[in-house]
Amino acid sequence: MASAQVALATTTLGSAASTVTFSSIPATYRDLRLVIQGSLSAGSNYFKLNFNGDGGANYNYVFMRGDGTSATSGSSSNDVSIYQTPSSIGSGVNTMITADIFDYGQTDKHKSTLTRSHSDGVYVWAIAGRWASTSAITSVAVAAYSGNLNSGTVISLYGIVSA
């Protein structure tokens, strides 16, 4: 089955920001794709995702990562976000993240995500996540775990149409 990607919004940070939120997301697509290209300020090691302003313990995820020499994996349950790379690599490292959010408009199931990411010269990650809510996703927030998203970070949101 073929699919197409429709650009919904793009934000390029002209200065550091703690959070970028895409809101009023129309329920007219099958899935969403979030693409993040950028880095974090000093003291912040993780990008994080939240849906519909929910900061409660409603997120679960499993991850695996490798650096070409070793691999690790882990999980988290009842968390307040779905955390994304880079993890313990320091600030200013350029990171590319693609997060697919499946069936975001459905109200009869929890929402699942699949994220692939890499950080320059450091790690490659894969993260499967779940938001334990049957609410349709109408907003997506991207933030730094602590600190800020650096100036120059580009975040784009796409709707995925299945043919």
User: Burial code of 51-89, b = ≥16 C-beta within 10 A, e = fewer?
Assistant: bbebeeebbbbebebeeeeeeeeeeeeebebbbbbbbeb
Judge contact between 154 and 38, C-beta under 8 A: yes
Domain layout of the chain by residue ranges: 3-162
- End-to-end Cα spacing for the chain: 6
Task: Spell out the per-residue pLDDT of the chain, length 163, in tens.
Answer: 567 999 999 999 999 999 999 999 999 999 999 999 988 887 777 789 999 999 999 999 999 988 889 999 999 999 998 876 544 445 667 888 999 999 999 999 999 999 998 876 677 889 999 999 999 999 999 998 888 899 999 999 999 997 6
Q: How many CB atoms sit inside 10 A of residue 99's CB?
A: 23
User: Burial code of 13-45, b = ≥16 C-beta within 10 A, e = fewer?
Assistant: beeebeebebeebeeebebbbbebebbbbeebb
Identify the CATH class of 3-162: mainly beta
Rounded to two decimals, the pTM is 0.90
